Amino acid sequence: MHEGFLVHSNFKFLKWASALCILSAVAYAIYDPLDVQSGGTWLGYGLGTIGAVLIVWLMWFGIRKRRYGGAFRLRSWLSAHVYLGLSLIVVATLHTGFQLGWNVHTLAYVLMMLVIASGAFGIYAYARYPRMMTENRRGLSLDEFLSQIGDIDRECRQVSANLPDEIASLVLKSSNETRIGGSCWRQLSGRDRKCAAAEAFEELRRVSTNVGPEHGPSVRKLLTLIGKKCSLLATVRRDIQLKALMDIWLHLHVPLSFALLAALTAHIISVFYYW
């Protein structure tokens, strides 16, 4: 039976991470510093060390996942990566002593929280979007959709061969100017507000009332074809959107992790530089 990384080994790493969080919280509750709770007390140094080691180890996952073999299975690593990464929320927050401000220390904290948030979104995306993609594509592949669109374009051109220029130019616009996806933002939006096919369809519907009776059947056929194309485009764009959502978190997670590593380095060096 398939066992996901979340339930791996009967939630072994969830238990470890919970234990770490509880231990940190209890230590924080018991520890009574001379002044106030902060990163500069002995508990603060302790939690900070645990947090820094965890961050470096979590980032090692990026290297580990590219290697085959190794002592533990990759699923085991991923499970640990997820749960221990989430435990950083507690460990690092207690490390700060809730002292946040406009400085490099809080920058490191905020970056860490963003990395965790993007990772959490990644878990959500991998749990939810593959099924949605399958349902959206109704069992076809993306290539099949694209070649259907290509076929429609070709057919449209044949139909429009003897139609007036105004209509031919709309057909040309539909087939030559339609784009799918594009910028990252447009992929994520799942739509194209200036979709050439949709515009051509609207325009065609408007002019269809003015064409001569001899072109009527052709124009109606064109309307059907371009309408079909628009619906195919919506499905494809939704597919691209879901895929982009499944990709984008890693495009945040990885660069933010390195930004965090840099900020963490600056944080650690600076607090001891000005001890």
Partner 1 sequence: MDARITTLTRRAKGGIGRREELVSAEVLRIGRGSDNEIFLPDPRVPLHLGVIHLNNDGLFVEAVGSVDLRVNGAVTRTALLKSGDTLGAGPYEIVVEKKPDGFDLGVTLELTQPLGDDLEELRRRSCLSVAESGISKRGTAWVLSLLILAMFLAVPVIWPFLAPEKDAPVDAAAAGAAMAKGHEMGFDISWNPGEMMNSHKFFADNCSACHTKPFIQVEDAACASCHTAQHAHATLDASVATGITETRCATCHTEHNGPEPIRSERQRLCSSCHESLDKAWPQTALLNAGDFGTAHPQFRATVWTDPGAGKQARISLDDTPKEVSNLRFPHKTHLDPKKMKDPETGQNTQLECASCHVPEAGGALMKPLVMEDNCGGCHKLTFDQDAPKRTVSHGKPELVYREVQEFYAARALDGGVQEPEAPAVVRRRPGTPLTAEERPEALAWARQKADWAARYLFSKSQCGSCHVLTNTEGAPQELSVAPVKVAAVWHPKARFDHGAHEDVVCADCHAAAESVESSDVLLPKIAVCRDCHGGETVSDRVPSPCVTCHAFHLDGMPPMHPARETAAQ
Cα separations in angstroms, 230 against 127, 165, 180, 193, 238: 29, 22, 11, 12, 12
Residue of 35, 42, 63, 209 that binds partner 1 (CB under 8 A): 35
Stretch that binds partner 1, among 13-21, 47-55, 64-72, 264-272 (CB under 8 A): 264-272
The conformation of residue 209, written as its DSSP 8-state character, comes to: G
For residue 242, the tally of other CB atoms under 10 A from its CB is: 24
Closest CA to 137 of 232, 228, 224: 232
Residue of 81, 125, 181, 226 that binds partner 1 (CB under 8 A): 181
203 counts as binding partner 1 under rule CB under 8 A: no
Stretch that binds partner 1, among 11-19, 45-53, 75-83, 154-162 (CB under 8 A): 154-162
Query: Which CB atom, from 68 or from 272, has the smaller least distance to partner 1?
Result: 272
CA 210 centroid distance within chain: 47
Stretch that binds partner 1, among 17-25, 30-38, 114-122, 125-133 (CB under 8 A): 30-38
Distance CA 213, CA 219 (A): 10
171 counts as binding partner 1 under rule CB under 8 A: yes
- The dihedral built from the CA positions of residue 91, 92, 97 and 98, taken in this order, carries a sign that is negative
Residue of 17, 84, 90, 149 that binds partner 1 (CB under 8 A): 149
Q: Is the CB of residue 61 less than 8 Å from the CB of residue 83? A: no
59 counts as binding partner 1 under rule CB under 8 A: no
Cα separations in angstroms, 115 against 9, 28, 109, 200, 258: 25, 24, 10, 43, 10
* Residues forming the site for partner 1 (CB under 8 A): 32, 34-36, 38-40, 99, 101-105, 107, 142, 146-147, 149-151, 153-154, 157, 160-165, 168, 171-172, 175-184, 187, 240, 243-244, 247-248, 250-251, 254-259, 261-263, 265-266, 269-275
